[in-house]
Amino acid sequence: MSQQDKMLRDIRAEVKYTRRYIGKDAFDPRVMKAMEAVSRHEFVDSGVRAYAYDNGPLPIGYGQTISQPYIVALMTDLLDPDPDDVMLEVGTGCGYQAAVLATLVQKVYSVEIIKELSEQSATRLRRLGYANVVTRVGDGYHGWEAHAPYDGIVVTAAAPYVPPALVAQLKPGARLVIPVGPSHFSQVLELIEKDQDGKVSTRDVLPVAFVPLTGEH
> Choosing from 67, 110, 118, 121, which is the catalytic residue?
67
φ, ψ at 13 (rounded to 5°): -65, -40
- The secondary structure element, H or E, covering residue 101 is helix 96-102
The band of 75, judged by pLDDT with boundaries at 50, 70 and 90, is very high
Which residue type does 103 have? T
Give Cα separations from 124 to 49, 104, 155 (angstroms).
Answer: 15, 19, 20
What is the rounded average pLDDT for all residues in the chain? 94
> Which pLDDT score is estimated for 196?
92
The 10 Å Cβ neighbour count of residue 68 is: 19
Tell me the per-residue pLDDT of 164-217, one tens digit each, with 9 for 90 and over. 999 999 999 999 999 999 866 679 999 999 999 999 999 999 999 888 777 655
Q: What is the DSSP letter of 31?
A: H
Residue of 70, 121, 130 lying closest to 102 (CA atoms): 130
pTM: 0.95
> Which pLDDT score is estimated for 209?
85
Tell me the per-residue pLDDT of 136-168, one tens digit each, with 9 for 90 and over. 999 999 999 999 999 999 999 999 999 999 999
Q: Hey, is 95 helix, strand or coil?
A: coil
Q: For each of the domains in the chain, give its residue range(s) and CATH number, in order of start.
A: 3-208 (3.40.50.150)
Chain centroid to CA 97: 5
Bigger pLDDT: 216 vs 15: 15
Left, alpha or beta for 62 (phi > 0: left; psi -120 to 50: alpha)? left
Report the interhelical angle of 69-79 vs 29-37 (nearest 10°). 140
| CA angle centred on 172, ends 200 and 135, rounded to 5° | 100
Q: Hey, is 40 helix, strand or coil?
A: helix
Question: Is 68:57 a contact under the CB 8 Å cutoff?
Answer: yes
39 is an active site residue? no
Left, alpha or beta for 129 (phi > 0: left; psi -120 to 50: alpha)? left
| CA angle centred on 133, ends 170 and 139, rounded to 5° | 60
Q: How far, in Å, CA of 21 to CA of 23, rounded?
A: 6
User: Is it true that the peptide bond before 149 is cis, omega within 30 degrees of 0?
Assistant: yes
Within 105-214, residue ranges assigned H as helices are 115-127, 164-168
> Which pLDDT score is estimated for 203?
96
Q: Give the chain's radius of gyration (CA, Å).
A: 16
